[in-house]
Amino acid sequence: RENPSPKRFPPVFAQICGAPVEPPVKILSSSACGDIGAQGVTFDTEVAKVALKGEHLAGCPEIPSQMFSVLAGCRINIDMIAAASTVIACIVAAGDLEGAVGALSQAFLH
């Protein structure tokens, strides 16, 4: 088993809403590379977020499972997942947003 050195950090995700993205990316790059020694900062403007929200998500593990299955069945790749007790969100390619919303609406609202 590999022991990471004390200076290794896991990937960090920041969501920047709106445009332009260059100023915040420049600030993040300066801070991350200078202050913590990160290797760099990358960004992707061709992504979208789809999410399910509800009061009882934490107690229903079948809901995230079904969400992932629905997206996989539509051949939609999930780039990243974020979850809390009342929301589960997936980052997908921007071109897949309409299909993801349609499929999830069909699965969970009908």
Would you list the domain boundaries of the chain? 9-45, 47-109
Question: The domain 47-109: what is its CATH number?
Answer: 3.30.70.260
* pLDDT more than 70, % of the chain: 91
pLDDT score at 38: 75
Is residue 35 predicted with pLDDT exceeding 90?
A: no
Name the more confident of 37 and 77: 77
Is residue 1 predicted with pLDDT exceeding 50?
A: no
Tens-digit pLDDT profile for residues 76-94: 999 999 999 999 999 999 9
Name the more confident of 93 and 1: 93
- For residues 101 and 51, the answer to whether their CB atoms sit within 8 Å is no
CA dihedral 31, 35, 36, 39 (to 10 degrees): 60
